[in-house]
Amino acid sequence: MSQKITAAITAIGGYVPEYRLTNAELEKIVDTNDEWIRTRTGISERRILKGEGKATSDLCVPAVLELCKKRNLDPMEIDCMIVATVTPDMFFPATANIVCDKVGAKKAWGFDMSAACSGFLYALTTGAMYIESGRFKKVVVVGSDKMSAIVDYTDRTTCIIFGDGAGAVLLEPNTEGYGVLDSILKSDGSGRSHLHMKAGGSWHPASNETVANKEHFIYQEGQAVFKFAVKGMADVSAELMERNNLKSEDIAWLVPHQANKRIIDATANRMGLSHDKVMINIQRYGNTTAATIPLCLWDWESQLKKGDNLVLAAFGGGFTWGATLVKWGY
Ligand code: UT7
Protein backbone atom coordinates (compact mmCIF):
# COMPACT_ATOMS: atom_id res chain seq x y z
CA MET A 1 0.00 0.00 0.00
CA SER A 2 1.36 3.43 -0.86
CA GLN A 3 1.90 5.93 1.94
CA LYS A 4 -0.66 8.72 2.39
CA ILE A 5 0.66 12.05 1.13
CA THR A 6 -0.22 15.20 3.05
CA ALA A 7 0.61 18.78 2.07
CA ALA A 8 3.08 20.20 4.59
CA ILE A 9 3.76 23.90 4.91
CA THR A 10 7.54 24.05 4.50
CA ALA A 11 8.17 27.81 4.33
CA ILE A 12 6.42 31.14 4.95
CA GLY A 13 6.95 34.60 3.54
CA GLY A 14 5.17 37.83 4.28
CA TYR A 15 5.12 41.47 3.36
CA VAL A 16 3.47 44.62 4.70
CA PRO A 17 4.13 48.03 3.17
CA GLU A 18 6.06 50.59 5.19
CA TYR A 19 3.42 53.31 5.41
CA ARG A 20 1.46 53.20 8.69
CA LEU A 21 -2.02 54.71 8.63
CA THR A 22 -2.67 55.41 12.32
CA ASN A 23 -5.95 56.01 14.12
CA ALA A 24 -4.72 59.55 14.80
CA GLU A 25 -4.38 60.18 11.07
CA LEU A 26 -7.85 58.75 10.39
CA GLU A 27 -9.25 61.15 13.01
CA LYS A 28 -8.18 63.96 10.67
CA ILE A 29 -9.89 62.40 7.63
CA VAL A 30 -13.27 61.20 8.98
CA ASP A 31 -15.41 61.72 12.08
CA THR A 32 -13.91 59.00 14.26
CA ASN A 33 -11.63 58.61 17.24
CA ASP A 34 -8.86 56.33 18.42
CA GLU A 35 -10.85 55.07 21.41
CA TRP A 36 -13.87 54.02 19.30
CA ILE A 37 -11.69 52.22 16.75
CA ARG A 38 -9.64 50.37 19.37
CA THR A 39 -12.58 49.29 21.52
CA ARG A 40 -14.92 48.34 18.64
CA THR A 41 -12.32 46.64 16.40
CA GLY A 42 -8.97 46.26 18.20
CA ILE A 43 -7.10 48.18 15.45
CA SER A 44 -4.43 50.83 16.11
CA GLU A 45 -2.84 51.12 12.66
CA ARG A 46 -2.80 49.52 9.21
CA ARG A 47 -0.19 49.41 6.45
CA ILE A 48 -0.91 51.10 3.12
CA LEU A 49 0.84 50.49 -0.20
CA LYS A 50 1.74 53.90 -1.56
CA GLY A 51 3.17 54.78 -4.95
CA GLU A 52 2.12 55.04 -8.56
CA GLY A 53 1.53 51.80 -10.39
CA LYS A 54 1.75 49.59 -7.30
CA ALA A 55 -0.70 46.70 -7.15
CA THR A 56 -1.56 43.54 -5.24
CA SER A 57 1.11 41.59 -7.16
CA ASP A 58 3.71 43.98 -5.69
CA LEU A 59 2.65 42.84 -2.21
CA CYS A 60 2.86 39.17 -3.27
CA VAL A 61 6.31 39.34 -4.85
CA PRO A 62 8.40 40.04 -1.70
CA ALA A 63 6.39 37.44 0.24
CA VAL A 64 7.00 34.74 -2.40
CA LEU A 65 10.67 35.66 -2.78
CA GLU A 66 11.15 35.47 0.99
CA LEU A 67 9.79 31.95 1.19
CA CYS A 68 11.94 30.89 -1.79
CA LYS A 69 15.00 32.28 -0.03
CA LYS A 70 14.17 30.56 3.28
CA ARG A 71 13.69 27.19 1.56
CA ASN A 72 16.55 27.74 -0.90
CA LEU A 73 14.03 27.28 -3.69
CA ASP A 74 14.57 28.45 -7.25
CA PRO A 75 11.24 29.99 -8.45
CA MET A 76 11.67 27.81 -11.55
CA GLU A 77 10.85 24.82 -9.31
CA ILE A 78 7.37 26.13 -8.43
CA ASP A 79 4.67 24.00 -10.10
CA CYS A 80 1.60 26.03 -9.23
CA MET A 81 0.78 29.46 -7.78
CA ILE A 82 -2.60 30.23 -6.25
CA VAL A 83 -3.31 33.83 -5.25
CA ALA A 84 -6.31 34.47 -3.00
CA THR A 85 -7.43 38.07 -3.49
CA VAL A 86 -10.43 40.33 -4.07
CA THR A 87 -8.20 43.15 -5.26
CA PRO A 88 -6.54 41.60 -8.34
CA ASP A 89 -4.19 43.80 -10.35
CA MET A 90 -6.71 43.59 -13.21
CA PHE A 91 -9.90 41.67 -13.96
CA PHE A 92 -7.73 39.50 -16.17
CA PRO A 93 -5.17 38.09 -16.49
CA ALA A 94 -5.05 36.58 -13.01
CA THR A 95 -2.73 38.15 -10.45
CA ALA A 96 -1.14 34.69 -10.12
CA ASN A 97 0.06 34.99 -13.73
CA ILE A 98 1.57 38.39 -13.01
CA VAL A 99 3.27 37.19 -9.80
CA CYS A 100 4.76 34.17 -11.62
CA ASP A 101 6.18 36.54 -14.23
CA LYS A 102 7.57 38.97 -11.65
CA VAL A 103 9.28 36.29 -9.51
CA GLY A 104 10.53 34.24 -12.46
CA ALA A 105 8.35 31.18 -11.84
CA LYS A 106 8.36 30.46 -15.55
CA LYS A 107 7.33 26.82 -15.30
CA ALA A 108 4.37 27.40 -12.99
CA TRP A 109 0.72 27.65 -13.84
CA GLY A 110 -1.71 29.34 -11.53
CA PHE A 111 -4.94 31.13 -10.89
CA ASP A 112 -6.68 33.53 -8.52
CA MET A 113 -9.12 32.46 -5.86
CA SER A 114 -11.98 34.81 -5.00
CA ALA A 115 -13.41 34.07 -1.56
CA ALA A 116 -12.80 37.40 0.20
CA CYS A 117 -11.61 36.94 3.80
CA SER A 118 -11.83 33.14 3.51
CA GLY A 119 -9.72 33.22 0.35
CA PHE A 120 -6.56 31.93 1.97
CA LEU A 121 -8.33 28.89 3.47
CA TYR A 122 -10.05 28.11 0.15
CA ALA A 123 -6.70 28.42 -1.67
CA LEU A 124 -4.76 26.46 0.95
CA THR A 125 -7.27 23.61 0.81
CA THR A 126 -7.18 23.59 -3.01
CA GLY A 127 -3.38 23.69 -3.13
CA ALA A 128 -3.19 20.89 -0.56
CA MET A 129 -5.36 18.66 -2.76
CA TYR A 130 -2.96 19.11 -5.69
CA ILE A 131 -0.13 17.90 -3.44
CA GLU A 132 -2.17 15.04 -1.92
CA SER A 133 -3.04 13.77 -5.40
CA GLY A 134 0.67 13.34 -6.11
CA ARG A 135 0.36 15.52 -9.20
CA PHE A 136 2.45 18.49 -8.00
CA LYS A 137 5.43 18.83 -5.65
CA LYS A 138 5.68 22.56 -5.01
CA VAL A 139 2.56 24.69 -4.71
CA VAL A 140 2.73 28.30 -3.51
CA VAL A 141 -0.41 29.70 -1.88
CA VAL A 142 -0.59 33.46 -1.40
CA GLY A 143 -3.19 35.57 0.38
CA SER A 144 -2.85 39.18 -0.69
CA ASP A 145 -4.99 42.28 -0.82
CA LYS A 146 -4.44 45.93 -1.54
CA MET A 147 -7.63 46.91 0.25
CA SER A 148 -6.69 50.62 0.07
CA ALA A 149 -7.52 50.40 -3.65
CA ILE A 150 -11.22 49.75 -2.91
CA VAL A 151 -11.74 51.63 0.36
CA ASP A 152 -13.73 54.85 0.42
CA TYR A 153 -11.73 57.13 2.71
CA THR A 154 -14.83 59.27 3.35
CA ASP A 155 -16.73 56.29 4.82
CA ARG A 156 -15.84 55.96 8.50
CA THR A 157 -17.55 52.60 8.83
CA THR A 158 -15.10 50.86 6.47
CA CYS A 159 -11.96 53.02 6.12
CA ILE A 160 -10.90 52.39 9.70
CA ILE A 161 -10.90 48.62 9.22
CA PHE A 162 -8.88 47.64 6.18
CA GLY A 163 -5.17 47.53 5.34
CA ASP A 164 -2.79 46.12 2.73
CA GLY A 165 -0.51 43.07 2.97
CA ALA A 166 0.46 39.64 1.69
CA GLY A 167 1.44 36.29 3.14
CA ALA A 168 2.58 33.17 1.30
CA VAL A 169 3.21 29.53 2.14
CA LEU A 170 4.97 26.75 0.26
CA LEU A 171 3.24 23.35 0.20
CA GLU A 172 5.27 20.18 -0.34
CA PRO A 173 4.44 16.47 -0.04
CA ASN A 174 4.92 14.80 3.34
CA THR A 175 4.46 11.17 4.34
CA GLU A 176 4.84 11.61 8.12
CA GLY A 177 1.43 13.12 8.76
CA TYR A 178 2.36 16.81 8.84
CA GLY A 179 0.55 19.62 7.05
CA VAL A 180 -3.04 20.28 6.07
CA LEU A 181 -5.05 17.49 7.71
CA ASP A 182 -8.64 18.61 7.38
CA SER A 183 -10.77 21.51 6.18
CA ILE A 184 -14.41 22.44 6.50
CA LEU A 185 -15.28 25.14 4.00
CA LYS A 186 -18.69 26.75 3.62
CA SER A 187 -20.44 29.34 1.49
CA ASP A 188 -23.82 31.03 1.34
CA GLY A 189 -24.27 33.41 -1.57
CA SER A 190 -27.46 34.82 -0.09
CA GLY A 191 -25.18 36.77 2.25
CA ARG A 192 -23.75 38.79 -0.64
CA SER A 193 -26.08 41.74 -0.04
CA HIS A 194 -24.32 42.52 3.25
CA LEU A 195 -20.74 42.74 1.94
CA HIS A 196 -19.77 43.35 -1.67
CA MET A 197 -18.63 45.76 -4.33
CA LYS A 198 -21.69 46.96 -6.20
CA ALA A 199 -20.30 47.81 -9.62
CA GLY A 200 -17.54 46.97 -12.05
CA GLY A 201 -18.62 43.41 -12.75
CA SER A 202 -20.95 42.11 -15.44
CA TRP A 203 -23.98 42.88 -13.25
CA HIS A 204 -23.29 46.65 -13.11
CA PRO A 205 -20.44 47.45 -15.50
CA ALA A 206 -18.47 50.61 -14.78
CA SER A 207 -20.15 53.80 -15.94
CA ASN A 208 -20.03 57.49 -15.04
CA GLU A 209 -23.04 56.81 -12.84
CA THR A 210 -21.44 53.94 -10.91
CA VAL A 211 -18.38 56.08 -10.28
CA ALA A 212 -20.49 59.06 -9.16
CA ASN A 213 -22.45 56.76 -6.82
CA LYS A 214 -19.20 55.40 -5.31
CA GLU A 215 -20.13 51.86 -6.29
CA HIS A 216 -16.54 50.72 -6.88
CA PHE A 217 -15.77 50.71 -3.16
CA ILE A 218 -16.42 48.09 -0.46
CA TYR A 219 -19.99 48.13 0.75
CA GLN A 220 -20.46 46.55 4.18
CA GLU A 221 -23.39 46.34 6.59
CA GLY A 222 -21.12 45.91 9.60
CA GLN A 223 -23.62 44.77 12.22
CA ALA A 224 -25.23 42.15 9.97
CA VAL A 225 -21.84 40.74 8.95
CA PHE A 226 -20.71 40.78 12.58
CA LYS A 227 -23.65 38.61 13.66
CA PHE A 228 -23.04 35.99 10.96
CA ALA A 229 -19.25 36.10 11.49
CA VAL A 230 -19.36 35.49 15.25
CA LYS A 231 -21.58 32.45 14.82
CA GLY A 232 -20.06 31.16 11.57
CA MET A 233 -16.43 31.24 12.64
CA ALA A 234 -17.10 29.76 16.10
CA ASP A 235 -19.45 27.02 14.79
CA VAL A 236 -17.12 25.84 12.03
CA SER A 237 -14.10 25.80 14.35
CA ALA A 238 -16.02 23.73 16.91
CA GLU A 239 -17.17 21.39 14.11
CA LEU A 240 -13.57 20.89 12.95
CA MET A 241 -12.45 20.09 16.51
CA GLU A 242 -15.26 17.60 16.98
CA ARG A 243 -14.67 15.87 13.64
CA ASN A 244 -10.99 15.40 14.53
CA ASN A 245 -11.60 14.47 18.18
CA LEU A 246 -9.62 17.47 19.37
CA LYS A 247 -10.00 18.96 22.85
CA SER A 248 -8.91 22.52 23.56
CA GLU A 249 -5.71 21.23 25.19
CA ASP A 250 -4.76 19.49 21.91
CA ILE A 251 -4.65 22.81 20.05
CA ALA A 252 -1.46 24.85 20.16
CA TRP A 253 -2.76 27.87 18.25
CA LEU A 254 -5.93 29.40 16.86
CA VAL A 255 -4.99 31.37 13.73
CA PRO A 256 -8.08 33.48 13.09
CA HIS A 257 -8.97 35.90 10.32
CA GLN A 258 -8.39 39.38 11.72
CA ALA A 259 -11.65 41.23 11.08
CA ASN A 260 -12.58 42.28 14.57
CA LYS A 261 -11.01 41.44 17.92
CA ARG A 262 -14.48 40.74 19.35
CA ILE A 263 -15.15 38.05 16.68
CA ILE A 264 -11.76 36.45 17.45
CA ASP A 265 -12.46 36.43 21.20
CA ALA A 266 -15.87 34.79 20.66
CA THR A 267 -14.30 32.01 18.55
CA ALA A 268 -11.51 31.40 21.09
CA ASN A 269 -14.05 31.22 23.93
CA ARG A 270 -16.19 28.71 22.04
CA MET A 271 -13.08 26.56 21.47
CA GLY A 272 -12.09 26.83 25.13
CA LEU A 273 -8.76 28.45 24.27
CA SER A 274 -6.95 30.92 26.48
CA HIS A 275 -5.80 34.25 25.08
CA ASP A 276 -2.14 33.14 24.89
CA LYS A 277 -3.03 30.48 22.29
CA VAL A 278 -4.58 32.96 19.86
CA MET A 279 -2.62 34.80 17.18
CA ILE A 280 -3.74 38.43 17.07
CA ASN A 281 -2.01 41.12 15.02
CA ILE A 282 -5.09 43.13 14.02
CA GLN A 283 -3.81 46.05 16.10
CA ARG A 284 -0.85 46.49 13.72
CA TYR A 285 -2.25 45.54 10.29
CA GLY A 286 -6.05 45.92 10.48
CA ASN A 287 -8.08 43.64 8.25
CA THR A 288 -5.96 42.68 5.22
CA THR A 289 -8.68 40.31 3.89
CA ALA A 290 -6.98 37.26 2.29
CA ALA A 291 -3.63 38.11 3.91
CA THR A 292 -4.58 38.03 7.60
CA ILE A 293 -4.04 34.31 8.27
CA PRO A 294 -0.69 33.88 6.46
CA LEU A 295 0.53 37.14 8.02
CA CYS A 296 -0.20 35.65 11.45
CA LEU A 297 1.80 32.53 10.54
CA TRP A 298 4.60 34.79 9.32
CA ASP A 299 4.64 36.81 12.55
CA TRP A 300 4.49 33.73 14.80
CA GLU A 301 6.77 31.43 12.75
CA SER A 302 9.59 31.42 15.32
CA GLN A 303 7.19 30.28 18.08
CA LEU A 304 5.73 27.33 16.15
CA LYS A 305 6.96 23.85 17.00
CA LYS A 306 6.97 20.68 14.94
CA GLY A 307 3.79 18.73 15.73
CA ASP A 308 1.75 21.77 16.88
CA ASN A 309 -1.93 21.56 15.95
CA LEU A 310 -3.12 24.83 14.42
CA VAL A 311 -6.74 25.70 13.68
CA LEU A 312 -7.01 28.33 10.97
CA ALA A 313 -10.47 29.97 10.86
CA ALA A 314 -12.09 32.63 8.71
CA PHE A 315 -15.36 34.34 7.84
CA GLY A 316 -15.93 36.83 5.05
CA GLY A 317 -17.78 38.21 2.07
CA GLY A 318 -19.93 35.81 0.11
CA PHE A 319 -20.64 34.73 2.73
CA THR A 320 -17.70 32.36 2.82
CA TRP A 321 -16.26 30.74 5.92
CA GLY A 322 -14.28 27.78 7.11
CA ALA A 323 -11.72 26.18 9.37
CA THR A 324 -8.58 24.20 8.50
CA LEU A 325 -6.50 21.92 10.69
CA VAL A 326 -2.73 22.07 10.13
CA LYS A 327 -0.10 19.98 11.92
CA TRP A 328 3.04 22.10 11.86
CA GLY A 329 5.92 20.33 10.16
CA TYR A 330 9.12 22.17 11.17
O1 UT7 B 1 -13.56 40.62 7.20
C2 UT7 B 1 -14.75 40.39 6.50
C3 UT7 B 1 -15.92 40.26 7.40
N4 UT7 B 1 -16.17 41.50 8.08
C5 UT7 B 1 -16.39 41.50 9.37
O6 UT7 B 1 -16.33 40.46 10.01
C7 UT7 B 1 -16.78 42.82 10.01
C8 UT7 B 1 -17.89 42.60 10.99
N9 UT7 B 1 -18.38 43.83 11.56
C10 UT7 B 1 -17.69 44.56 12.47
O11 UT7 B 1 -16.55 44.25 12.76
C12 UT7 B 1 -18.38 45.73 13.14
O13 UT7 B 1 -19.75 45.68 12.82
C14 UT7 B 1 -17.82 47.11 12.74
C15 UT7 B 1 -16.42 47.30 13.30
C16 UT7 B 1 -17.78 47.26 11.23
C17 UT7 B 1 -18.70 48.22 13.34
O18 UT7 B 1 -18.79 48.04 14.75
P19 UT7 B 1 -20.22 48.01 15.46
O20 UT7 B 1 -19.96 47.85 16.89
O21 UT7 B 1 -21.05 46.97 14.77
O22 UT7 B 1 -20.76 49.44 15.19
P23 UT7 B 1 -22.15 49.88 14.56
O24 UT7 B 1 -22.11 49.76 13.09
O25 UT7 B 1 -23.26 49.23 15.31
O26 UT7 B 1 -22.16 51.40 14.94
C27 UT7 B 1 -22.27 51.86 16.31
C28 UT7 B 1 -22.17 53.36 16.34
C29 UT7 B 1 -23.08 54.05 15.31
O30 UT7 B 1 -23.53 55.26 15.89
P31 UT7 B 1 -25.01 55.39 16.54
O32 UT7 B 1 -25.95 55.04 15.44
O33 UT7 B 1 -25.03 54.37 17.65
O34 UT7 B 1 -25.07 56.79 16.99
C35 UT7 B 1 -22.15 54.37 14.20
O36 UT7 B 1 -22.57 55.46 13.42
O37 UT7 B 1 -20.85 53.77 16.02
C38 UT7 B 1 -20.87 54.69 14.93
N39 UT7 B 1 -19.67 54.50 14.13
C40 UT7 B 1 -18.51 55.11 14.41
N41 UT7 B 1 -18.16 55.99 15.36
C42 UT7 B 1 -16.88 56.41 15.38
C43 UT7 B 1 -19.49 53.71 13.04
N44 UT7 B 1 -18.23 53.80 12.60
C45 UT7 B 1 -17.61 54.67 13.43
C46 UT7 B 1 -16.29 55.16 13.48
N47 UT7 B 1 -15.97 56.03 14.47
N48 UT7 B 1 -15.34 54.79 12.59
Tens digits of per-residue pLDDT, 196-245? 999 999 999 999 999 999 999 999 999 999 999 999 999 999 999 999 99
**For the chain, domain boundaries:** 6-177, 181-327
- Is 72 assigned a catalytic role? no
d(CA 292, ligand 1 centre) in Å = 20
Please compute the mean of the pLDDT values over residues 106-118 and round it to a whole number: 98
For 272, list phi and psi in degrees, rounded to 5: 70, 30
Alpha-carbon dihedral 294, 235, 326, 82, rounded to 10 degrees: -50
Tens digits of per-residue pLDDT, 268-303? 999 999 999 999 999 999 999 999 999 999 999 999
Mean of pLDDT over the chain = 97
Report the pocket of ligand 1 as residue ranges, CB < 6 Å: 32, 36, 40-41, 117, 156-157, 160, 222-223, 225-226, 229, 259-260, 263, 287, 315-316
Q: Is 222 exposed, middle or buried (0-12, 13-18, 19+ CB in 10 A)?
A: middle
Residue type, 213: N
Q: Is 306 exposed, middle or buried (0-12, 13-18, 19+ CB in 10 A)?
A: exposed
Closest CA to 127 of 117, 142, 145: 142
Contact assessment for residue 192 and residue 128, using Cβ atoms and an 8 Å cutoff: no
Same fold, 6-177 and 181-327: yes
Contact assessment for residue 297 and residue 328, using Cβ atoms and an 8 Å cutoff: no
* Radius of gyration (C-alpha) of the chain in whole angstroms: 19
Contact assessment for residue 296 and residue 286, using Cβ atoms and an 8 Å cutoff: no
- Is 257 assigned a catalytic role? yes
DSSP 5: P
Report the CATH fold assignment for 6-177. Peroxisomal Thiolase; Chain A, domain 1 (3.40.47)
Query: Could you say which of 117, 260, 281, 296 is catalytic?
Result: 117
Q: Say what the pLDDT of residue 222 is.
A: 94
The closest residue, in CA terms, to atom 3 on ligand 1 is 316
d(CA 280, ligand 1 centre) in Å = 20
The closest residue, in CA terms, to atom 30 on ligand 1 is 157
Q: Which superfamily does CATH assign the domain made up of 181-327 to?
A: Thiolase/Chalcone synthase (3.40.47.10)
d(CA 158, ligand 1 centre) in Å = 8
- Among 41, 44, 197, 226, name the best residue to mutate to test ligand 1's pocket (greatest count of ligand atoms within 8 A of Cβ): 226
Query: Could you say which of 97, 174, 196, 257 is catalytic?
Result: 257
The dihedral of CA 266, 267, 273, 275: what is its sign? negative
- Among 33, 41, 43, 157, name the best residue to mutate to test ligand 1's pocket (greatest count of ligand atoms within 8 A of Cβ): 157
- Is 117 assigned a catalytic role? yes
d(CA 146, ligand 1 centre) in Å = 22
Query: Which whole-number Å values give the CA distances from 219 to 76, 188, 216, 311, in the listed order?
Result: 40, 18, 9, 29
Closest CA to 95 of 135, 118, 133, 123: 123
Tens digits of per-residue pLDDT, 12-44? 999 999 999 999 999 999 999 999 999 999 999
pLDDT band per the 50, 70, 90 thresholds, residue 3: confident
Give residues with Cβ within 8 angstroms of 108, minimum separation 6: 75, 78, 79, 80, 81, 100, 140
